[in-house]
Structure 1
Amino acid sequence: MSGNKEQVAYVLQQGAIGPLCQALSIDDPQVLAVVMDALSNILKLAACSHDDLVSVTSQIEECGGLDKIEDLQNHRNEEIYKLAFDLIDKYFTEDVEELPENMADGEYTFGANAAADHQQTKFEF
């Protein structure tokens, strides 16, 4: 929790993400809180660099940690739910995506000739 960036980097080089994510399966709220705090602190330090953040979030996803964190959003303990929600909200949600080229004014058109055949190919939601 109080490690500097070099210490955290060393722990990550030793493969700490996998075991931390495995510990997310333990059904003890105290253990879960400590593990999620550890992941949160690692992600907070990694967020200083886009490449570091991508590396850490990718490692968490690859070892199944993101799925476990998502599952913990349904935990009976409110603190665990909040910790899981905050992790996902801060580090695993993407910014608003750009609209596709063929999306305009809330209407999605299909095909190369969609503009010419606009009446038959538009969908309104």
Structure 2
Amino acid sequence: MNAAEVTEDRLRQLIERGFKFVHPRDESGDITAIVGVRPHDNVIDVVQLRTEDDAVALRLAGDTKDVLAPEKHSWRSAGPAPRVLDELLNLPDVIAETAVPAQSTSNGCWIHTDKNRAKWVPAS
């Protein structure tokens, strides 16, 4: 498999795991990133793919207000999409010892799709 096929396969695996994806666009309507979010237990897993060589994944506290600009995280990976997606898929569902404890149960979060738009992503 080439890098694009690996990335596509890993994105399918994330969808099967419960990630919901949005595709922020710029003023001309071009997609600027692929953003996936999965709230579960007391954490939120987030992945942003800007190119196949520029991906970032984070594990955040369940009460994080802005998942695209978090103040802190308990886990982070950045680099080529296939490696970052593999690392995200290999995370245990809950890291109780290292996760930042949530102050309240999260029912979802806002995802900023561009400077004038946001989309609410409900927790499953």
TM category (shorter chain) comes to under 0.3
TM-score under structure 2 length normalisation = 0.25
Bigger RCO of structures 1 and 2 (CA < 8 A, at least 6 apart): 2
Point out the structure with the larger strand share. 2
Of the two, which has the highest radius of gyration? Answer: 1
Structure (1/2) with the larger helix percentage: 1
